[in-house]
């Protein structure tokens, strides 16, 4: 590696990944999920590109799920080396057990959890804000607002992790993860040598040790609060100008606020006092100083501009001086829409500024606050919505037609009241939309099999679970074990397209030719396991097989197999480029 600094144009995800490498990364683990996927993809490319004598420069691996990824990371930290874990916001739910318990351990090698949130739900089922997990675990959290900060903060996060012996949460969001900007890099740091921890009691959460470790975590909070206060001092700007409110920003909210500064000065004859928060726990002394300064200048409001859920705003209520009104996403008349992403226009409205010329008026904050379309430009706002759809020739299309024909014969009544079709998270979720309209529930990864089991237990005669091969391995197999042990009459349909298609064609943890052995290893009766080709010419035959298995009063698994078209294109392209 070169020891000199350089300039590079990178996505926010890539900047974070490069910062981790330059911070002495020894290993990285994760599970693909938009908008975090590009972190691991960049790391894998760099690990191979920096290999010496065929040995990768560091480990960078996809895992079965986020929980196993974080558990592997704990093992690296136990050995004294620096490690990164990547996931999207809802993946942190899967990893919650080791994440929360990890705060009670004596972290040795720096451990950073990079969670990419998805405000606006571009590719997610909820707007969950990972900062709440950071506060719940009582660990440091850093929130970059630019690609440069994503690079710089992961370097700092490793140092903070080793200083406080705690995991550190690094929170990204979609716009930062997927936008590109130039960054200035620092000379890389060498990897830590491996050295197993000698503080074994700090890594054994038996009740006697866990109680002591928890008490130590509580004691660390004072030092963490001092760290966050010092971290934020440079971002406190107390204005002597006459403005009617003070402002607290966080993450991308700071960018959108600054974009409106010229008009804000013109509107009020000055700019408000402001604190930008980039490190948590919240720096309450700085917040109090901001509010006291605002009151002295007869500014009786604090406007909170934060990307995601009202994490800061909720914590401010009840701790600020009397007479300060807090405005943000909460309340009967919120200043910023309660759902969706921030953008310069809804921040502009919250600052009391008129819409820019050519921009349609944003929905009033208290009226239709859930509407997030504050689109720039009349033409764009008038375009009809184009919902996502399966690719032309996708194997899932034939699979859903197969399922629909089977269901129609099992129960021809309107609405099919005797049939439950529970689906899962993946590109096959689009089977819920026309022209297929084949599935009735989509909740979280792995839920389809558990829900089908519950529907069968509740008395629905024909219970189906539709799940992808990667999602089945991620968190569906445990529910199948339950169904097999209880001999529940469910029909599990695994849509095996040989790849993690939704997030860009990452490899599955268990390839297709090993899936049968894994499934039969649960104890499933081999006579009720089928591997069928998901092809148009097989639809009638496959539908008949589904009907037969649905009538069996026990668990069955039908794997509908055909390679994802996009994966096939990438495979053939790679093969062609490898030819001399």
Residue of 539 and 390 predicted with greater confidence: 539
pLDDT higher than threshold 50 for residue 382: no
Sign of CA dihedral 428, 433, 437, 443: positive
pLDDT higher than threshold 50 for residue 65: yes
Average pLDDT over residues 24-43: 92
Question: How much is the pLDDT for 92?
Answer: 94
Mean of pLDDT over the chain: 86
* Lowest model confidence (mean pLDDT) among 13-17, 145-149, 150-154, 511-515: 511-515
Question: How much is the pLDDT for 172?
Answer: 95
Question: How much is the pLDDT for 157?
Answer: 97
Beta-bridge partner residues of 247: 274, 303
Fold observed for domain 7-205: Rossmann fold (3.40.50)
What is the distance between the alpha carbons of residues 121 and 442, in angstroms, rounded to a whole number?
A: 15
* Lowest model confidence (mean pLDDT) among 55-69, 237-251, 358-372, 439-453: 358-372
Question: How much is the pLDDT for 401?
Answer: 92
* Of 191-205, 226-240, 362-376, highest mean pLDDT: 226-240
Question: How much is the pLDDT for 223?
Answer: 96
Question: How much is the pLDDT for 386?
Answer: 59
* Lowest model confidence (mean pLDDT) among 217-226, 413-422, 536-545: 413-422
Residue with tokens 């590696």: 1
pLDDT higher than threshold 70 for residue 547: yes
pLDDT higher than threshold 90 for residue 84: yes
Which pLDDT band holds residue 361 (cuts at 50, 70, 90)? Answer: very low
pLDDT higher than threshold 60 for residue 372: no
Average pLDDT over residues 491-514: 80
* Of 195-199, 332-336, 536-540, highest mean pLDDT: 536-540
**The model's pTM:** 0.74
Question: How much is the pLDDT for 375?
Answer: 36
Average pLDDT over residues 496-519: 80
Which pLDDT band holds residue 385 (cuts at 50, 70, 90)? Answer: low
DSSP assignments along 426-491, one per residue: SGGGGGGSTTT---SB--STTHHHHHHHHHHHTT-SEEEEEEEHHHIIIIIHHHHHHHHHHT--EE
**Which helix (H) or strand (E) segment is 213 a member of?**
helix 207-232
Residue of 273 and 476 predicted with greater confidence: 273
Question: How much is the pLDDT for 387?
Answer: 64
Beta-bridge partner residues of 184: 7
What is the distance between the alpha carbons of residues 7 and 372, in angstroms, rounded to a whole number?
A: 35
Average pLDDT over residues 504-521: 84
Q: Which CATH class is domain 233-356+364-372?
A: alpha beta
pLDDT higher than threshold 80 for residue 5: no
What is the distance between the alpha carbons of residues 395 and 565, in angstroms, rounded to a whole number?
A: 8
244 closest CA partner among 333, 350, 369, 347 = 350
Average pLDDT over residues 275-301: 90
Number of Cα atoms under 13 Å in the Cβ half of residue 98: 20
Residue of 574 and 65 predicted with greater confidence: 65
Question: How much is the pLDDT for 471?
Answer: 87
Question: How much is the pLDDT for 278?
Answer: 96
* Lowest model confidence (mean pLDDT) among 90-99, 379-388, 562-571: 379-388
What is the distance between the alpha carbons of residues 5 and 198, in angstroms, rounded to a whole number?
A: 36
Which pLDDT band holds residue 369 (cuts at 50, 70, 90)? Answer: very low
Average pLDDT over residues 299-314: 91
Percentage of residues of the chain with pLDDT beyond 70: 90
> Do the Cβ atoms of 307 and 252 come closer than 8 Å?
yes
Residue of 417 and 166 predicted with greater confidence: 166
pLDDT higher than threshold 50 for residue 318: yes
Beta-bridge partner residues of 249: 276, 305
Question: How much is the pLDDT for 304?
Answer: 95
pLDDT higher than threshold 80 for residue 4: no
Average pLDDT over residues 437-458: 81
Question: How much is the pLDDT for 290?
Answer: 92
Residue of 39 and 294 predicted with greater confidence: 39
Question: How much is the pLDDT for 226?
Answer: 96
Fold observed for domain 395-567: Rossmann fold (3.40.50)
Q: Which residues contact 62 (CB under 8 A, 6 or more apart)?
A: 29, 30, 31, 32, 40, 506, 507, 509
pLDDT higher than threshold 70 for residue 383: no
Which pLDDT band holds residue 367 (cuts at 50, 70, 90)? Answer: very low
The helices-and-strands tally (H runs, E runs) of the chain is 22, 19
Residues in the chain: 580
Average pLDDT over residues 463-485: 88
Q: Domain spans of the chain?
A: 7-205, 233-356+364-372, 395-567
Q: Encoding tokens for residue 514?
A: 């090993």
């Amino acid at each position: 590696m070169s020891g000199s600094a350089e300039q590079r144009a990178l996505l926010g995800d890539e900047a974070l990944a490069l910062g981790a490498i330059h911070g002495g990364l020894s290993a990285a683990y994760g599970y693909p999920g938009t908008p975090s996927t590009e972190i691991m993809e960049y790391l894998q490319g760099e690990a191979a590109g920096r290999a010496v004598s065929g040995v990768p420069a560091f480990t960078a691996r996809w895992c079965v799920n986020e929980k196993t990824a974080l558990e592997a990371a704990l093992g690296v930290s136990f050995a004294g080396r620096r490690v990164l874990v990547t996931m999207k916001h809802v993946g942190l739910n899967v990893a919650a057990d080791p994440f929360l318990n990890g705060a009670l351990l004596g972290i040795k090698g720096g451990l950073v959890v990079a969670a990419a949130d998805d405000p606006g739900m571009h590719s997610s089922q909820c707007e969950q804000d990972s900062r709440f997990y950071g506060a719940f675990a009582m660990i440091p959290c850093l929130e970059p607002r630019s690609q440069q900060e994503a690079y710089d903060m992961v370097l700092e996060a490793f140092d903070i992790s080793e200083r406080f012996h705690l995991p550190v949460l690094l929170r990204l969001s979609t716009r930062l993860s997927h936008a590109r900007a130039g960054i200035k890099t620092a000379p890389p740091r060498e990897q830590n040598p491996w050295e197993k921890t000698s503080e074994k009691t700090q890594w054994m959460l038996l009740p006697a040790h866990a109680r002591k470790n928890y008490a130590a975590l509580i004691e660390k909070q004072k030092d963490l609060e001092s760290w966050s206060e010092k971290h934020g001092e440079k971002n406190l700007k107390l204005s002597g100008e006459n403005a009617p409110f003070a402002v607290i920003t966080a993450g991308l909210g700071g960018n959108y606020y600054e974009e409106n500064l010229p008009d804000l000065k013109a509107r009020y004859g000055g700019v408000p006092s402001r604190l930008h928060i980039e490190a948590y726990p919240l720096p309450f002394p700085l917040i109090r100083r901001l509010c006291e300064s605002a009151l002295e200048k007869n500014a009786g409001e604090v406007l909170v501009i934060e990307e995601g859920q009202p994490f800061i705003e909720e914590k401010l209520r009840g701790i600020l001086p009397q007479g300060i009104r807090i405005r943000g996403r909460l309340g009967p008349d919120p200043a910023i829409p309660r759902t969706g992403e921030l953008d310069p226009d809804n921040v502009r409205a919250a600052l009391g500024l008129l819409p820019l010329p050519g921009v349609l008026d944003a929905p009033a904050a208290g009226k239709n606050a859930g509407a997030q379309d504050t689109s720039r430009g009349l033409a764009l706002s008038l375009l009809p919505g184009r919902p996502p759809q399966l690719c032309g020739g996708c194997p899932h299309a034939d699979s859903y037609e197969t399922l629909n024909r089977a269901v129609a014969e099992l129960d021809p009544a309107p609405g099919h009241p005797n049939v439950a079709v529970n689906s899962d998270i993946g590109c096959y979720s689009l089977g819920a939309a026309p022209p297929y309209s084949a599935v009735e529930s989509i909740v979280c990864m792995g839920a389809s099999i558990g829900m089908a089991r519950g529907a069968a237990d509740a008395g629905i005669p024909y219970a189906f679970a539709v799940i992808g091969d990667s999602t089945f391995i991620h968190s569906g197999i445990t529910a199948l074990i339950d169904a097999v042990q209880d001999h529940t009459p469910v029909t599990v349909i695994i849509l095996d397209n040989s790849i993690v298609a939704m997030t860009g064609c990452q490899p599955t943890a268990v390839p297709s030719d090993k899936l049968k052995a894994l499934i039969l290893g649960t104890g499933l009766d081999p006579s009720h396991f089928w591997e069928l080709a998901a092809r148009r010419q097989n639809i009638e035959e496959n539908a008949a097989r589904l009907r037969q298995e649905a009538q069996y009063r026990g668990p069955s698994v039908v794997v509908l197999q055909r390679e994802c078209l996009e994966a096939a294109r990438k495979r053939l392209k790679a093969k062609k480029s490898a030819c001399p």
